[in-house]
Structure 1
Amino acid sequence: MPFNDLSLTLLLVTLALAGLTILVCGIRMTGLADRIADRTGLGEALIGGVLLGAATSLSGSVVSVTAALDGRASLAFSNGVGGIAAQTAFLALADILHRRANLEHAAAELANVFQGALLVLLLTIPIIAYAGPDVAIFGVHPGSFVLLLVYGVGVVASKRVREDPMWRPVGTSMTEKDSPDEDESDNRGNIRLFVVFGVLMLIMGVAGWVVAKVANELTDRYDLSASLVGALMTAIVTSLPELVTTLAAVRRGALQLAVGGIIGGNTFDTLFLTFSDVSFRDGSIYHALERPDFFWLATGLAMTSVLLLGLIVRQRAGPGGIGFESMGILGIYLMAIGVQAFAM
């Protein structure tokens, strides 16, 4: 599709249709992920953090890879880290929806706490790569390999934390348990379940490519900041599945799936940087960035830290029925948007 031949109206319509496609697929995948968690016995937190998190992040990863292949380092980077900030803010919105208690209190699960700490670690690696020497192995910075290694080790460790925890959250009357909705021994239709899940992932990937091409055209045509477009347009559009799946999971009572899906999706989103670095052929992508590109990484890191504190403190309720972490997360995100708007 010759995107440069499209009018502004058609570009925005194309962007909206791609976003709607991502949205519909994300809604369908939530129910499938919940059933997979029940049938495999792996639990909502782990399935939400790994399978659902990675699947709903596919469109975003396609955006970053496409931007990197086009030599747009800032757009590729800001799309990944901007998505982390946006998706963390979505979790605060889900807390507002869950009126019975603070979501982080009700969804007590050690695997989510572990993945939150893992995410903080992963977000520090790009900073180290940026501040360190400009080195590359076949055009890829060693930090990108470290990101992939730490993520893989973290996934294995998350499973061990769930199966043999050394710490357990204190149960209260407001704590929601992760209990299967169906008979785990019923394996009929499992293949079809995974096939449908895979097809939805493929469709989301194509939609992500369309979003990237529209973003490239808008950036060039109107001389927009690539960091701003990546963090506040492509990141939010491709993060719509996380918003819908999180709200849908809360409505279904699958609270561990809701929290795990956001944290796991954010953890997987750090791999956007590895994918982007491999796709960026002008050397290390970290040293093609400028200082302002790290604004949204720092924002996501601050929001994740507040979320992790909330998961540990487990405040039962706060102002408006939400915890201090949700107020802090929304406050940081809105402040960051205000700073970016002022910088324009």
Structure 2
Amino acid sequence: MMDFIATPAGLLSAFFATAAVVVLAGIRLSIYGDALGDRTGLGNGLIGLVFLAGVTSLPELVVSLTSVINAPELAQGADMATGNMLGSNVFNLLILAFMALLFPGKFKPAAMKDPHTDSTLYGVLMLALFSIAYLAADTRWGGALIPGLRCAWLVITLPIAYALILRREHRQHKLEKEEQLPQETALTQLSALRFYSALCALCSLILGGGILLSLLGSRMALPPDQGGFGLEASLIGTLFLAISTSLPELVISFASIRMGFLDMAAGNVLGSNMFN
């Protein structure tokens, strides 16, 4: 295996093969997400916003963490991690725009039980908090713009904000779930053990694919004489890793809209941005 990915062609083949596994797992996960909404009574919107968004964001989380850990220099790893997270958010918004163009008849606010206006505003708010901390600690001009302020405060602020957001969304969807009648499907009739075992297996595939994408992406940053492409870490994080780890969102959104679950598609994309 190592000899195969030692060449640029083999490395690129392994990268796209891993991305394909993530895509296929994402397709199945969208189907299981609908069944999970029927089983729990939470509805497609909340399942997309919380569960699917969390699962499809696992590649971003794993890629960013392993990029920092495995990078030969901390600055390079942090650059790759930041580029991956922010690049994925931009790509996720492009997904919504692409779906609106592809399905103009279905992608209308009137067709949604929840227009996800709050989710959009929350995502902008959390990105603003990150931007303030990131710029405040920037030392490229000889010192931090705001002395004493570091990105570490995000470790406390963002999880609290995210938890409060999910709590509010849960209350809002709880009032609407009585209006939604669960539909009997083959997946809803499965035993709890078989259903949740398959669900965990799909999540594991996405998580494992995210780890492998991180390792392959780091290798792509190596010079050509070492089997890489000689690309900068920031380009890898923004282009290859961000697009590949956003493929589950793209696939789930496409499949959800095709099945008529616009709430789940929008909730998945917007929730993933908040998770990032």
TM-score, normalization by structure 2 = 0.84
What is the 5 A alignment of 1:79-118? 79-110=84-115, 112-118=116-122
Matched AA of 2:196: F
Q: Secondary structure at the match of 1:227?
A: helix
Distance 1:134 1:225 in 2: 30
* Aligned AA (2:173): R
Q: Deviation at 1:223?
A: 3.6
Matches within 5 A, 1:192-231: 192-221=194-223, 222-231=229-238
Which stretches of structure 1, 4 residues or more, deviate above 4 A after TM superposition?
1-5
SS at match of 2:222: helix
Which residue does the alignment assign to 2:47? 47
Equivalent AA in structure 2 for residue 195 of structure 1: S
CA distance in 2, matches of 1:95, 1:181: 27
Of residues 118, 123, 128, the one that matches 2:127 is 123
Instruction: After superposing the two structures, state which structure 1 stretch, 226-235 or 82-91, moved more.
Output: 226-235
The superposition leaves residues 34-76 of structure 1 with CA deviations (integer Å, 9 ceiling, x where unpaired) of 0111111111110001001111121221111100112311101
Distance (whole Å) between structure 2 residues aligned to residue 5 and residue 90 of structure 1: 30
1:62-211 alignment, distance < 5 Å = 62-70=62-70, 71=74, 72-110=77-115, 112-130=116-134, 131=136, 132-133=146-147, 141-164=152-175, 180-182=182-184, 188-211=190-213
Deviation, 1:226, is: 2.0
In structure 2, list runs of 5 or more residues that go unmatched.
137-145, 224-228
| Partner in structure 2 of residue 254 of structure 1 | 261
Which residue identity is paired with 1:54?
A: G
**Mapped contact 2:27–2:252 kept (Cα < 8 A):** yes
Question: Within 5 A, what are the aligned runs for 1:281-296?
Answer: none
Amino acid at match of 1:152: A
Matched, 1:266 2:273: yes
Q: Distance in 1 between matches of 2:200 and 2:6?
A: 31
Using the TM superposition, give the Cα deviation of residue 180 of structure 1 relative to its aligned residue in structure 2, in angstroms. 3.5
Structure 1 residue 78 displacement after superposition: 0.9
* 1:211-265 deviation per Cα after TM superposition (whole angstroms, max 9, x unaligned): 1111111113244232222111101011111111101000101111111111111
Change in 2 beyond 3 A, CA 1:15/1:178: farther
Aligned length: 252
| C-alpha separation in 1, matches of 2:132 and 2:105 | 41
For the structure 1 residues 102 and 9, does the alpha-carbon distance in structure 2 shift closer, same or farther, using more than 3 Å as the test? Answer: same
> Any idea what SS the aligned residue of 1:216 has?
helix
Question: In 1, distance between residues paired with 2:182 and 2:238?
Answer: 37
Deviation at 1:101, TM superposition (A): 4.6
1:114-173 per-position Cα deviation (integer Å, ceiling 9, x unaligned): 21111111101211212144566xxx71112211111111111111122348xxxxxxxx
Provide closer, same or farther for how the CA distance between residues 18 and 163 of structure 1 changes in structure 2, counting only shifts above 3 A: same
3-state SS, counterpart of residue 239 of structure 2:
helix
Amino acid at match of 1:191: L
Q: Does the 8 Å contact 1:3/1:213 carry over to 2?
A: no
User: How many Å separate the matches in 2 of 1:220 and 1:80?
Assistant: 21
> Which secondary structure state, in structure 2, belongs to the residue aligned with residue 84 of structure 1?
helix
Q: Distance in 2 between matches of 1:29 and 1:192?
A: 14
Q: Say if 2:246 is the partner of 1:239.
A: yes
Q: Conserved in 2, the CA contact under 8 Å of 1:39 and 1:187?
A: no
Question: What RMSD in Å do the two structures reach over aligned CA positions?
Answer: 2.3
SS of aligned partner of 2:52: helix
The 1:228–1:95 alpha-carbon spacing in structure 2 relative to 1, beyond 3 Å, is same
Q: Distance in 1 between matches of 2:17 and 2:30?
A: 20
Kindly state the Cα deviation for residue 108 of structure 1 after the two structures are TM-superposed.
4.1
Shift of 1:188: 4.9
Q: Does the 8 Å CA contact 2:67/2:214 hold for their aligned counterparts?
A: yes
Taking only the aligned residue pairs, the percentage that are identical comes to 29
CA, structure 1 residues 49+10, in 2 after alignment: closer, same or farther (shift >3 Å)?
same
Judged with a 3 Å threshold, the aligned counterparts in structure 2 of structure 1 residues 249 and 214 are, in CA distance, closer, same or farther, namely same
